[in-house]
Amino acid sequence: MKIFKFIYIFIIIIIPVTAVSSTSMRENKSVSIGVVLYSENFSASFRGFRDGLRDLGLINVNFEVENLHGDLSEIPEILKRFNNERINLVFATTTPVNQEIMKYNDKYGFDVIFNEVAEPVSAGLVKSLKKAGKNFTGISHIAFKLLSKRFEIFTEVFPGRDKILCFIDESDSFAKNQFQYLETFRRFHPDVKLIKVRVTNSADFAEKLDKLNLKDSSEYGIVMMPHPLFVKEFDRLKSFAMENRIPVMVIDNSLIEKGGALGYSPTFYDVGYQSAYIAVSIINGHKASDVPVQFPDKIQLALNLKILKKMGINFNESYLAYANRVVNE
């Protein structure tokens, strides 16, 4: 299995020395943190963040949690409320959410910790990984960098499925660039057909799924592309996959429990937990602009044997020996 010598190639963590110690925090210091979730399916990030702060000894924390349900137009009003409520720090999930916050943040000057951001530099959130230079820092989900490896793993686990459905959000110009990261995969797998299905919103996604006509579903697979819309609509995607007996490679391993077949990624919870170290550094007085962006400290291969059995899907069982996690009940 040639892929597994690379299995941890991206497990790099850049932790500033100021971020790993909570000893300088005043025990009685009260902190108010605003949390902005793209949708409910990102709530594990917040739970990890909350638990990480608790384990680091920061217990006097007030959280103001806002769930956008995918509606970015709510952000200006949310930031206004955060300002009125004297929020000290903002924890925000996904690239579109953070980009929208950045549009208005000059007015408020919040320090923002981002999660589930594929490429923070090209997204315009930071100047560089080592020196953010703005009010934003956090954990890059490195979703674009992992794309080629995900497709490669998928084709090896499901060798007979040479037609891969790739749902992309046509309205997001940043997300359109993600296929450039698949050039290596395409070069070494010319016989695998990548089928782009363009959608613009939740309603359009549902309509496109209903209209897909797959003559022989045993030839197809789904690899989730990096965009929060498809995490938000994962239940709908899972229903389509179950009905057509098509395995889904998820964009985050937290979706394995929800019905994904295969994953090679961090988890929202772990990345949220890791973000607590960054929060402590900022709470201790360091500027977000001076705190380096980190990469996830744990990327794992996960396989949902239970869902594969339920759908009656054959797969390369030798991968069971390489999986860091197997769901079997």
Same domain, residue pair 254 and 165: yes
- pLDDT for residue 25: 53
Same domain, residue pair 261 and 274: no
Query: Using CA atoms, how far apart are residues 253 and 261, in angstroms rounded to an integer?
Result: 10
Single out the residue of 315, 230, 305 nearest to residue 261, CA to CA: 305
Same domain, residue pair 314 and 282: no
Same domain, residue pair 54 and 23: yes
User: 273-310, pLDDT tens digit by residue?
Assistant: 999 999 999 999 999 999 999 999 999 999 999 999 99
Query: Using CA atoms, how far apart are residues 297 and 10, in angstroms rounded to an integer?
Result: 9
State which residues of the chain have pLDDT below 50.
Answer: 1-23, 26
Same domain, residue pair 248 and 279: no
Same domain, residue pair 46 and 169: no
Q: What is the domain count for the chain?
A: 2
- pLDDT for residue 320: 92
Domain enclosing residue 185, as ranges: 147-265+301-327
Same domain, residue pair 132 and 49: yes
| Cα separations in angstroms, 185 against 5, 190, 300, 315 | 17, 8, 20, 20
- pLDDT for residue 21: 46
User: 231-258, pLDDT tens digit by residue?
Assistant: 999 999 999 999 999 999 999 999 999 9
Same domain, residue pair 293 and 224: no
Same domain, residue pair 123 and 209: no
Same domain, residue pair 34 and 96: yes
Same domain, residue pair 216 and 306: yes
Same domain, residue pair 53 and 160: no
Q: Report the CATH number at residue 212.
A: 3.40.50.2300
